[in-house]
Amino acid sequence: MSLWRGTWRKTSLWCSQVSVDDWRACRDWVTDNGQPNLQFFATHFGKSKVQVADCGTREFTDQKRLEMTVAEFVEQWLGDPMQEHGNASSHSAMSKMSLYLKDWHFVKEYPEYEAYTTPVFFCDDWLNIYLDNYHMHNDPNIYSENNEISCSDYRFVYMGAKGTWTPFHADVFRSYSWNMKSCVYNIFDDVNETKISGFAETIWLECTQEQNEIIFVPSGWYHQVHNLEDTISINHNWLNAYNLRWVWDLLLRDYNEAKEYIEDIKDICDDFEGLCQRNLAANTGMNFNDFLIFLARLSLANYIQLHYLARKNGNHTWNLSPIAQHLTFNLASIQKIALNIKSVEDLTGSHGFHLDFRETLKDPEFFKLCTFLGKHMG
């Protein structure tokens, strides 16, 4: 189980019991007594390299990160000696850490395993179906195969012993998130008026997430998680037409901060705006150009689905169907955000982007994107 604490506004936190009996994760990843089946992970996925947070050491605004294999992480958790990694004193120092495996791109690494099925409530996921077919970054000066932002997804597995935790934060891109526990500190020491503006007026909510319960966290909700028992969890971040505005607001805020930070070199920089955009991509995970291309491809995919629906039904009432109205809403939301981006780019002198729709229609990756979108729409 996990304790969630955070600042919630307007919407309420939703915790729901979803049928997960047929999930492979619930069979393979949990022992008969409800504990994490660590040996299963070490045996089947032990060679995977993962990011592990040392919950006892802060590094800037996050916890210090280490890289190790899953097998090494399991050895640390179980307290077994790591003879292949140096002397006993080194192992002893590592054992004193509170280690939490985070952001493991399990689905991307093991697509054939099919650990779980995304609950129907959360299937309208543009971010992950896009990253299944495209890289987020298009600028060769930003993209690299080793960059986990540009070549991966936002579907994660977390594993941590009792007492591990995640610091106070809002999720990447201000996306939605859902979290399921397959098994199951005083927040005010970490968060207070000096660190968070408006802390005293904030409404705080605390809930305990039990085994097989799913928690949905809306865009922009700051939260902190503390594992009350040994825990394995599945986590998704995702975007769709309903929270695009949150993404754009974050990009614009971070762009202005990045620009202000290097304003003193503007007069001697050959491509100041390009530098601002590269810094934005590095700090936030995407820049204006990345976001616009993302919106353009999703816009075309939604339009194709709408066109297909009209031809399939062949009558004058097709546009009244829930699916047609949903697709129309998607397109209207994209248009509104794109116009906002264009107005800012006109002011900043950004170069915009070019996407050849004719070439896009021939792209097999775009065909798969349309197929995934159509499958979700039914």
Contacts of 361 (CB under 8 A, 6+ apart): 300
pLDDT tens digit sequence for 35-73: 999 999 999 999 999 999 999 998 887 899 999 999 999
Q: Which two tokens stand for residue 211?
A: 């085994």
Q: What is the pLDDT of residues 267-290, one digit of tens each?
A: 899 889 889 999 999 999 999 989
The whole-angstrom separation of Cα 278 and Cα 280 is 5
Predicted structure pTM score: 0.86
In 140-210, which ranges are continuous DSSP H helix?
148-151, 187-190
Q: Are 143 and 295 in contact (CB under 8 A)?
A: no
Q: Which two tokens stand for residue 19?
A: 């049928």
What is the pLDDT averaged over residues 113-139? 91
Is the pLDDT at 153 greater than 50, yes or no?
A: yes
Q: What is the pLDDT of residue 84?
A: 44
pLDDT in the model for residue 309: 85
Tokens of 375: 């499958």
Q: What is the pLDDT of residue 377?
A: 75
User: Would you state the pLDDT for residue 80?
Assistant: 47
Q: Under a CB-based contact definition with an 8 Å cutoff, are residues 277 and 262 in contact? A: no
Distances (CA, A) of 324 to 34, 82, 89, 126, 330: 44, 58, 64, 17, 10
* The pLDDT of residue 336: 95
**pLDDT above 70: residue 141:** no
Q: What is the pLDDT of residue 287?
A: 92
Residues 153-158 have a mean pLDDT of: 95
Share above pLDDT 70 across residues of the chain, in percent, rounded to a whole number: 79
Q: Where are the beta strands (DSSP E) in the chain?
A: 2-7, 14-17, 49-59, 62-69, 99-104, 155-160, 165-169, 176-183, 204-209, 213-217, 222-227, 231-238
How high is the mean pLDDT of the chain?
84
pLDDT of residue 329: 96
Domains, the chain, with CATH or none: 2-238 (2.60.120.650), 244-377 (no CATH)
The answer to whether 142 touches 278, Cβ cutoff 8 Å, is yes
Residue 188 pLDDT level (bands cut at 50, 70, 90): low
Q: What average pLDDT score do residues 367-374 get?
A: 92
Span 173-192, average pLDDT? 71
